[in-house]
């Protein structure tokens, strides 16, 4: 990732993609099962559907418990905002009208397999980074850049896990 100088209010994004030698239906089954994600993430510790939901649908909610060496432990409630089986799965973290982040998987058939990308946007709502930025406003751009770089590495790792499972 190259330096962008982005600030939190810019709603900076990061995206990583891969090609998987498996049909979109198989890949979809993995990316849309949020309960599998803790086994593929360096930060996410556990996930559970809320309100009786047992799978993805627009409006469904799930709680995620995460941890980070510098940020500590936290929990967030996510709201599914897009769900097109075999194509797109996205959720807004905390308040869907003013999310602290948005996450999205996109799938499309390609060369007998699946092109998969994972994208995320920071902000505009407050998140764990907001407190660090409040304490060190002169370092906001660096804080945002470092966190986006962490997300880029974590997304690449998650995609590699999904690829291995789908191709197994």
Question: What contacts 127, CB < 8 A, 6 or more positions away?
Answer: 93, 94, 100, 101
Question: What contacts 147, CB < 8 A, 6 or more positions away?
Answer: 122, 129
Q: Each residue of 16-34: b (16+ CB within 10 Å) or e? A: bebebebebebbbebbbeb
Report residue 146: phi and psi, to 5°. Answer: -60, -40
Residue among 3, 1, 2, 6 nearest 144 (CA): 6
Question: What contacts 102, CB < 8 A, 6 or more positions away?
Answer: 81, 90, 91, 92, 93, 120, 121
Q: Provide the pLDDT for residue 71.
A: 75
Q: Are 162 and 30 in contact (CB under 8 A)?
A: yes
Reported as a single tens digit per residue, the pLDDT across 114-158 is 999 999 999 999 998 898 899 999 999 999 999 999 999 999 999
Average pLDDT of every residue of the chain: 94
Reported as a single tens digit per residue, the pLDDT across 30-47 is 999 999 998 888 888 999
Report residue 3: phi and psi, to 5°. Answer: -60, 130
Q: Residue 105: pLDDT band by 50, 70, 90 thresholds? A: very high
Q: Residue 68: pLDDT band by 50, 70, 90 thresholds? A: confident
pTM over 0.85: yes
């Amino acid at each position: 990732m190259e330096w962008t100088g982005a600030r939190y209010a810019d709603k900076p994004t990061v995206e990583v993609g891969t090609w998987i030698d498996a049909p979109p239906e198989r890949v979809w089954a993995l990316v849309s099962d949020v309960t599998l994600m803790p086994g593929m993430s360096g930060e996410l510790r556990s996930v559970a559907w809320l309100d009786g939901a047992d799978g993805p649908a627009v409006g469904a909610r799930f709680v995620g418990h995460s941890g980070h060496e510098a940020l500590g432990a936290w929990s967030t409630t996510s709201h599914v905002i897009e769900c097109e089986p075999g194509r797109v799965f996205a959720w807004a973290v905390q308040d869907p009208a003013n999310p602290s982040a948005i996450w999205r998987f996109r799938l499309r058939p390609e060369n007998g397999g699946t092109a998969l990308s994972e994208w995320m946007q920071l902000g505009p709502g407050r998140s764990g980074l907001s407190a660090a930025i409040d304490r060190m406003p002169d370092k906001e751009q660096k804080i945002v850049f470092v966190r986006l770089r962490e997300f880029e590495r974590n997304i690449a790792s998650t995609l590699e896990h999904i690829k291995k499972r789908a191709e197994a």
